[in-house]
Amino acid sequence: MTPVEKPKRLDLVRTPLESSNLIEASAGTGKTYAIAAFYVRFIVERALPADQILVVTFTVAATAELRDRIRRRLTDARRAFEAGTATDRFLASF
């Protein structure tokens, strides 16, 4: 019997931002958190304007939640960068 490998944890800071990224996972696993983190990285690290970043989801409700979460994440990032500190582990990693 082959031992089951533990899934690798997604590294939001070190995952390369190359071409496209697909995030698939069960409900409640942090997909929206991860997408918002990658969105911030694309803006900060690649200096991409928001209109050059495409995020796709499948329902109107999911779209609204994702849009709100990304906006909050960008606001949090701006505040963290202005203050020079962050309590959020992802933002602190910058």
**What is the structure's pLDDT at 73?**
95
Please choose, from the candidates 61, 8, 17, the residue with its C-alpha nearest in 3D space to the C-alpha of residue 35. Answer: 17
**What is the structure's pLDDT at 7?**
65
Q: Tell me the average confidence (pLDDT) per consecutive run of 10 residues in the chain, 94 residues long.
A: 68 85 80 92 94 90 93 95 91 85
Please give the tally of structural domains in the chain: 1
Neighbours of 19 (CB within 10 A): 5
Residue 10 within any structural domain of the chain? no
Residue 22 within any structural domain of the chain? no
Residue 38, domain extent:
31-92
Residue 5 within any structural domain of the chain? no
**What is the structure's pLDDT at 24?**
79
8-state DSSP, 2: P
* Dihedral over alpha carbons 16, 58, 6, 88 (to 10 degrees): 60
Residue 11 within any structural domain of the chain? no
Outline where DSSP puts E strands in the chain.
Answer: none
Neighbours of 77 (CB within 10 A): 22
**What is the structure's pLDDT at 26?**
81
Structural contact between residues 35 and 64, judged by C-beta atoms closer than 8 angstroms: no
